[in-house]
Structure 1
Amino acid sequence: MTFTFFSMFFGAGNLIFPPFVGAQAGSASVPATLGFIVSAVGLPILGVLAVSFAGGFDRLASRVSPGFATVLAVAIILTIGPCFAIPRTATTSFEMMIVPFLGGADATGATGAGGASGKWIAQLIYSAVFFALAFLFAQKPEKLSHVLGRFMGPLLIALIAILFAACLIHGVDASVAPMGDYAQGQLARGFLDGYQTMDLLAALYFGIVISANIRALGVDSEGTVRRETAFAGLGTGVLLVLIYGALSYVGVVSGAIAAIDPSTDTGATVLTNLTSSVFGHAGTAFLGVVFVIACLNVCTGLICTCASYFHDRFRTVAGHGVSYRAWQVIFTLFSFVVSNAGLAAIIKVSVPVLSALYPIAIVLVLLALTHRWFAARFARVYFWTVLLVGIVALLGCVVSLAAVFGFGEAGAFGWLASALDLLPLQSYSLGWVVPAFLGAGVGVIDSVAHGRGGE
């Protein structure tokens, strides 16, 4: 069950973020990686347990309100689907497989003006072929999953082991000084960058699946189901910690070999810099092929998942509505358009959105884990905690997106950014923590005043 759990979480996208953390953090990679592991490993495992204990995501989110459960579910599906995760499968595999071999690129993968134009055309063609294949495979996803799912996980682990061993042999004379977002506050920055894996959001759906698999093995006792889920989560957590730690070191070595620009480069650049230096073009090509296969597999599954969700959720009582196949077409075309913005742009825009969704998911998970002895006694705690955290998180998202799209903090967003800066821990993008405690306190008072217990 541990390896099933692991395969649900770890994809090609998880392969590019830890090296990017290591390359930027350099000599401060230990606290940065620790922060990354807390949010990229600890939170998703807790999320699976929380959803399992609650009896499913809808039941957990409905403790806030039924309408909120629908809104949050749609937001999560769009985030781990056509808005970010699906386009990222195409851009990641393109950066790994095609960019290193484009004419006009230098040793780090950078291109001049003419090269940039050629790269855009190549990306357009590649993404068109990639999504055409993904759409075709999505018509019968079980065939692709049965074939690739059996060896992609072991292949990725073997690849990581080879990269790590090569880095141990190569060594690093002197780690680079922390740069970019990791110039200071490496622990907090690593925690925030762990959001990029999107695993906590996915975990809100995985928990009930893992529990169902355990029950299918003949386990009927709820206590046993929870214990087995916890054991599977612990085993998965250990694997992920080891892998993320190894990949972070890979990033440190790669950063010492070839400098990166944190504002334009990505984890894909970090990996290709390393493979090009250590293994040559053959190693880079092999790494690219693995990424293409893994990303195509993930893309196919996500298209099917998103289409199934929207088809089931938004059809009428009589069963009418947009067909499953039409949703597949919509999500495939939308993802194709978004993917051509490029990997760096997708990651840059996704950061504010994930920074809005993650605090809400975190407080939901924590409340679910304390439900029996705390939240169940004060039903309004869910509403007030999520409300106050949601307000702060969404306002922060507005300010961050304005900066991403070039509006900066001038005008209407200037006073909003200044107001948010008054919150404790906001300098670490954790301004939602104090409102969470305040919401819990208000929820307790409201529950006591109106005599509202939990489930």
Structure 2
Amino acid sequence: MYKRKELLVTSFALFSLFFGAGNLLLPPLLGYTAGEDWLWVSIGFMVTAVLIPIIGILAHAKLQGTMFDFAKKVSPTFSYVYCILVYVISAAIPSPRTASATHEIAIHPAFGTSPLLTSLIYFALVLVFVLNRSKILSLIGKFLTPLIVIMLLMVISIGLYSSSLPNSPTLEVPLVSGLLEGYQTFDAIGAVVVGAVIIVSLNFKNVSVDAFDAKRALIRRAGFIAGFGLFVIYAGLISVGAYYGTEINIDDTLSSDMQRANLLRGISISALGTFGNTVLSILISLACFTTAIGIVAGTADYFKGLLGNSQTVFVVTAIIASVLGVVVGQLDFGTIIMVALPILMFIYPITIVLILLNVVPDRYATKLVFRAVVITTFMFSLPDVLSFLVPPETIQPIVAIIPLAKYNLGWVIPAFTVFLATLFLQRLNRK
């Protein structure tokens, strides 16, 4: 059986590995635009930014393998391609995005330095922590996460205490807006990446948990605790944005990323005075830094296992991921989000169905079910991807006939229908 200290450290580490740049910047502006509808938008956001990621951790607890195990029932070849794609995307987008957010909000306003200098120092430190990965779980779980949580709760509680009436709502379908905004946190993808980091770190540290069932219980309970923490923080940030945003001028002519930054900075300063700027800078830096560590470590772990469990491969991959982070980190936060959107619309639905299928009992999640549902999800998510790449009128006839396609959720009903139909056909075949 695991110790209570191990449960808390693992829970805090999971929370911190999830909680990065997008997780901090996206919710307040979402609440600001939702206004009185902030509760509905929160529910949507929680589905894709909390519920699905935590189910992903539960799937890791069940499998206790690598990310390869998530997709191997489709086919080994598909799983290799999927894993490589996810890790390359993670190293090329969310990881550099953490450096970009740290520079724009925490470093540049205080020191006026270039993005290149910030990225070089940032990823040099990330690389040092990753190469000393035996200490990752303890350092993040014992020290960095409690500091992040304390700062967040301080800003949220003071902000809500002195808040006013919310804005008028500006979102047509708040629930769907919350769902799609949750995509941009990358948390579902993060679940399959950092969940593997947690498992490897537990094995590497030789904690008291060695039995499969005991380790599964530890990971599952840590996932629930981390999920509850994410729920509280997200709901707090969204509600603060809704209620406190009326008192802050975020300048609608600015880009959305600068609006997010100005709103969060305004809330911090209003809640904590001039000290709020310092708190925000430290908060952004820590939240982004821990997420980048998880992504780079997870990527290096995967390629190490793929290529003969070589420590040299681990080091080289970590260096390449860090260099890629420096290069892409020169882009601003908003540009990285715009590049990420079509990629997210492609990989996110597949990731979601793989997570859900991996927590379904094995007698229902057969190889045939995996293949049928994943292929269906891929086909019906293509219009969402194409909507960012071609003129809207080109795919409008297709969108018009697919349920929920106008909300970028056209894959949901077909995937669920195929899941049920495949189960029914399998049952008939057995009889």
* 1:439 is the counterpart of 2:418: yes
Cα deviation digits, residues 116-152 of structure 1 (max 9, x gap): xxx8x73333223323443455443556765455221
Which position in structure 1 is the counterpart of 2:4?
Answer: none
Moved more, 419-428 or 134-143: 134-143
| Aligned match for 1:201, one of 164, 185, 189 | 189
- The offset of 1:354, in angstroms, is 2.0
State how many pairs are aligned: 415
Pick from 296, 300, 310 the counterpart of residue 303 of structure 1. 296
Match of 1:382 in 2: 370
User: 2: CA distance between counterparts of 1:332 and 1:210?
Assistant: 20
Residue matched to 1:162: 154
1:397 paired residue number: 385
Distance of aligned partners of 1:447 and 1:37 in 2 relative to their CA distance in 1, 3 Å threshold: same
Task: Give 1:198 deviation, angstroms.
Answer: 2.0
Q: Deviations over 1:205-264 (max 9, x none)?
A: 455666785995457474x65555444333333222222211112222442122433744
Report the Cα offset of residue 70 of structure 1.
Answer: 1.0
Q: Shift of residue 196 of structure 1?
A: 2.1
Alignment of 1:24-173 (within 5 A): 24-56=33-65, 57-80=67-90, 82-101=91-110, 122-142=114-134, 146-147=138-139, 149-172=141-164
Change (3 A) 1:365 1:127: closer
Amino acid paired to 2:266: N
Residue number in structure 2 paired with 1:9: 15
Within 1, Cα distance between the matches of 2:78 and 2:161?
Answer: 52
Q: Deviations over 1:78-106 (max 9, x none)?
A: 233x221211111111122135458xxxx
Aligned-pair identity in percent equals 28
Larger Rg: 1
Structure-2 residue corresponding to 1:20 = 29
Offset at residue 311 of structure 1 (A): 4.2
Q: Which residue type is aligned with residue 79 of structure 1? A: I
TM-superposition CA deviations, 1:285-323 (whole Å, max 9, x none): 23203322443343344333323423442x4x7x89984
Question: SS in structure 2 opposite 1:177?
Answer: coil
Which has the larger displacement, 213-222 or 278-287?
A: 213-222
Shift of 1:37: 1.2
Question: Compared with structure 1, are the counterparts of its residues 304 and 207 closer, same or farther at alpha carbon in structure 2 (3 Å cutoff)?
Answer: closer
| Structure 2 match to 1:258 | 248
- The answer for the alignment partner of 1:277 in structure 2 is 270
- Over 3 Å counting, the alpha-carbon distance change for 1:440 and 1:145 in structure 2 is closer
Q: 2: CA distance between counterparts of 1:297 and 1:369?
A: 27
Offset, 1:36: 0.8
2:175 matches 1:187: yes
Of the structure 1 ranges 354-363 and 338-347, higher mean CA displacement relative to structure 2 is found in 354-363
Mapped contact 1:19–1:267 kept (Cα < 8 A): yes
Q: Evaluate the alpha carbon distance shift between residue 133 and residue 225 of structure 1 in structure 2; reply closer, same or farther with a 3 A threshold.
A: closer
Q: For residues 370 and 137 of structure 1, what CA distance do their matches in structure 2 show?
A: 35
* Cα offset, 1:353, TM superposition: 1.8
Distance 1:71 1:420, change over 3 A: farther
SS in 2 for 1:365: helix
Give the structure-1-normalised TM-score: 0.80
Structure 1 residues 324 and 54 mapped into 2: Cα distance closer, same or farther (>3 Å)? closer
C-alpha contact 1:163 1:250 (8 A) present in aligned 2:
no
Does the 8 A contact of 1:23 with 1:251 survive in 2?
yes
Letter in 1 for 2:387: V
Greater Cα shift, 272-281 or 163-172: 272-281
Q: Distance in 1 between matches of 2:85 and 2:54?
A: 21
Q: Which runs of 5+ in 1 are unaligned?
A: 103-118
Cα contact 2:384–2:405 (8 A) shared by 1: no
Paired residue for 1:354, among 325, 332, 344? Answer: 344
What letter corresponds to residue 44 of structure 1 in structure 2? P
Does 1:175 find its partner at 2:166? Answer: yes
Question: How has the CA–CA distance of structure 1 residues 277 and 218 changed in structure 2, closer, same or farther, with 3 Å as cutoff?
Answer: closer
Comparing 424-433 with 344-353, which one deviates more in the overlay? Answer: 344-353
Q: Is the 8 A contact 1:86 1:302 kept in 2?
A: yes
- The answer to whether the 8 Å contact 1:145/1:297 transfers is no
Matches within 5 A, 1:196-235: 196-207=184-195, 213=202, 217-218=208-209, 220=211, 222=213, 226=216, 229-235=219-225
Is contact 1:266-1:344 (8 Å) kept?
no
Distance 2:120 2:210 in 1: 46
Q: Check the 8 A contact 2:137/2:198 in 1, yes or no.
A: no
Q: CA RMSD in A?
A: 3.3
Post-superposition offset of 1:33:
0.8
Q: 212, 220, 230: which one pairs with 1:240?
A: 230
Q: Secondary structure at the match of 1:265?
A: helix
Q: 2:115, 2:169 → 1: CA distance?
A: 31
Give the conservation status (yes or no) of the 8 Å contact 2:383–2:398: no
Note the C-alpha offset of 1:199.
2.1
